[in-house]
Amino acid sequence: MKSIRDYRSDAVTLATFEMRQAMANAEVGDDFAGEDPTVKYLEDMSAQMFGKEAGLFVISATMANQIAMMTSTQRGDEVLVGEESHIYNMETGGLAALSGVQARPLRSLNGKFDLPGLQRAIRNRGLQLPITRVLCLENTYDLNLGIPLSQEYMSEISMLAHKYDLLVFLDGARIFNATTALKIEPKLLCQDIDVVQFSLCKGLSAPVGAILLGTKDFIEQARRVRQRIGGGMAQAGHMAAAGIVALQTMIVRIEDDHINAKRLAIELARFNESLVNVEKTLTNIVQINLGSVGKDALYLSNSLAEYGIKVKVVDPTTCRLVTHWGITVSDIDETIDTIVKILR
Ligand SMILES: *Cc1c(COP(=O)(O)O)cnc(C)c1O
């Protein structure tokens, strides 16, 4: 592994040696005609892991989210989304631009929607009212916090949504961080979810790709939508091959990222306890809050850059550090020392 000292995202990870070999040696065919055995293998393997009927290999988690919405809504529908969610904030207004739906953002407390609030947000049917069509969940929730949401919570909220005939969609870009933190199989965690997607290139380190999962019918329609927006690929098996290796070899090591994130959080809190909320550092994302030490986020990020360490500025007083396969324990210790030196 090559240490890259880049904490801006877990999407910066590089393909492993085994992935590169699998890509070179993949058996491929024309995926337009459904004839790429490696793509098929990855889609079936993913569907089995999550207990869903069928899967679709797409280019990115953003594409998976948008295809899911285009497949499940009509123009003018309303979809319920988390106020901090990726689909609402980070996809160039795709919900409006591609699906023509309106998003209704829901507040959350520690990543959880309040049930009565959610119930109130689901509209009655009426001539003047938009139709509430989809409940969008995200797990881990909040790209700047990475909160794992329990199976009990996801099932409770899905049951409520199903009572009103909503489709429950899960953006599981970082679902394996959630399954690792909660020590649960994806199949169980997602048992009451209708449609789910996960990323192959965040914690799992594949170079490209995400998988969308649902019923056979849903995925058949989603495949047409993927084609419509130019997401159909010919010999995609070269990329799917890396995805297969990602699922086979990279899930087990995500625990290391969580241990590293916790170590970073604990040591920074030892230096100054207002810098990090250790209890809320549950997966691979560490938030550094600089408000109380009178420094701004840009100062920390620029200072760290001088030492070759890259972090993301979330807002004027907050930085985000994401741990991943490219970050070693010694990187963590060096980063702790460097931050302490800068802020002392
Ligand atoms: C990163 C991320 C995405 C988008 O992933 P891409 O593959 O970069 O398009 C979607 N949802 C969540 C929660 C993410 O963290």
The arithmetic mean of pLDDT across residues 129-140, rounded, is 98
245 within 8 A of 18, measured Cβ to Cβ: yes
Cα 265 to Cα 223, 283, 290, 311, 343: the distances in Å are 42, 11, 14, 15, 15
Does 200 lie in the same domain as 105? yes
Question: Which of 107-116, 148-157, 240-249 is the least confident region?
Answer: 107-116
What's the maximum distance between 2 C-alpha atoms anywhere in the chain? 62
Pocket test for ligand 1, best of 87, 90, 212 (most atoms within 8 A of CB): 90
Ligand 1: distance of its center to the CA of 114 in Å?
Answer: 24
pLDDT in tens, 15-65: 999 999 999 999 999 998 899 999 999 999 999 999 999 999 999 999 999
Domain C-terminal end among 200, 219, 249: 249
Please give the pLDDT value at position 154. 97
- Protein residue with its CA nearest to atom 6 in ligand 1: 61
Ligand 1: distance of its center to the CA of 84 in Å?
Answer: 13
Does 32 lie in the same domain as 62? yes
Does 115 lie in the same domain as 75? yes
Pairing of strands 167-172, 195-199: parallel
Does 159 lie in the same domain as 131? yes
Amino acid (1-letter code) at residue 25: N
Residue 114 C-alpha from the chain's centroid: 22
Does 326 lie in the same domain as 207? no
Does 294 lie in the same domain as 154? no
Does 44 lie in the same domain as 138? yes
Instruction: Give the domain extent around 269.
Output: 5-12+253-343
Task: Identify the three-state secondary structure at position 159.
Answer: helix
Please give the pLDDT value at position 175. 98
Residue matched to tokens 């997966």:
283
CA distance 208 to 186: 21
User: Is a pLDDT exceeding 80 seen at residue 255?
Assistant: yes
Does 278 lie in the same domain as 207? no
Q: What is the CATH number of the domain that holds 272?
A: 3.90.1150.10
Ligand 1: distance of its center to the CA of 32 in Å?
Answer: 25
Please give the pLDDT value at position 1. 58
Q: What is the DSSP letter of 112?
A: B
Q: Which residues line ligand 1 (CB under 6 A)?
A: 11, 60-62, 65, 86, 138, 143, 171, 173-174, 199, 202, 210
pLDDT confidence bin for 292, thresholds 50/70/90: confident
CA-172 nearest atom, ligand 1? 13
Does 212 lie in the same domain as 245? yes
0.75 exceeded by pTM:
yes
265 within 8 A of 286, measured Cβ to Cβ: yes
The number of distinct structural domains making up the chain is 2
Please give the pLDDT value at position 84. 96
Taking each helix axis from N to C terminus, what angle separates 17-25 and 237-249, rounded to the nearest 10 degrees? 140
Does 220 lie in the same domain as 273? no
